[in-house]
Amino acid sequence: MFKKYFKIWWMMSRNSFSAVLGQKLALSMFLVGKIFRFIFFFLFLYFLLKGTGSLAGYSGNQIIFFFLTFSLVDVTTQFLFREVYKFRPMIIKGDFDLVLVKPLNALFRVLMGGADVIDLITIPPLVVLTIVYGVSLHPMMSGVLIYLILLINGFLIATAFHIAILAFAIVTTEVDHAVMIYRDLTNLGRLPVDIYKEPLKGFLTYLIPVGIMMTTPVKAMIGSASVLGIIIAFSAGILSMLLSLKFWNFALTKYTSASS
């Protein structure tokens, strides 16, 4: 089953890559824009920390590692789930009807119907930077292992968010604003949520688990996360996925076919 769906994903992604690569000017502009956006914020952090030396009790390298971890989660989810941004026209035009009648999981098709080649280009250098700064923190092997597991947990929460956005689109035919709200909220995780005061810190940690997605993995690696915090993080990942799937199944019962 996994092999079958991987082959389908690869075929759809290859088609998506071909479409984007056919527009070289647009591809170049978007790629340059993404790179400059990353560099500018990276330089902002560098000069900010050069003057202060630390932020919220974290060293300069630790803060940059927080940002790199956020970027890795953010860019990887955009790479995998770019099709979510195209879901609204599918609902309005009735193309979702064709998805539902095919012998393929509908959620898989609309969630992972085509990867983004622009984000694919930026992922390898981002991974290298994350490893370089991670090594500079001299973590223990146990910390690295927990970091990697919590990073996967962060991807799980991000996946749950995107499933919820798709379900919300079926109910309301609205995607764009929901995606932008999600992106605005996750952007608050570019730095550790410890820099925020309550109740915002608690909101970003437990209600909208941005802190669990972006901050907790790094804190676990550097040894500042509690055992309870790690357990809560895993619980939040499982719960968010279960709730999002439940919402998706509910949304399908409310879907009105374009032909009806």
Q: What is the DSSP letter of 204?
A: I
Q: Is this prediction's pTM over 0.85?
A: yes
Q: pLDDT digits over 38-70, tens only?
A: 888 888 877 777 777 777 788 888 988 999 999
Residue 19 corresponds to which amino acid? A
How far apart are the C-alpha atoms of 122 and 127, rounded to whole Å? 9
Q: Is 193 in contact with 40 (CB distance < 8 Å)?
A: no
Q: With left for phi above 0 and alpha for psi between -120 and 50, is residue 183 left, alpha or beta? A: alpha
Domain boundaries, the chain: 2-254
Angle (CA) 34-117-79 rounded to 5° is 75
Q: pLDDT digits over 102-157, tens only?
A: 888 999 999 988 888 778 888 898 999 999 999 999 999 999 999 999 999 999 99
Q: What is the DSSP letter of 178?
A: H
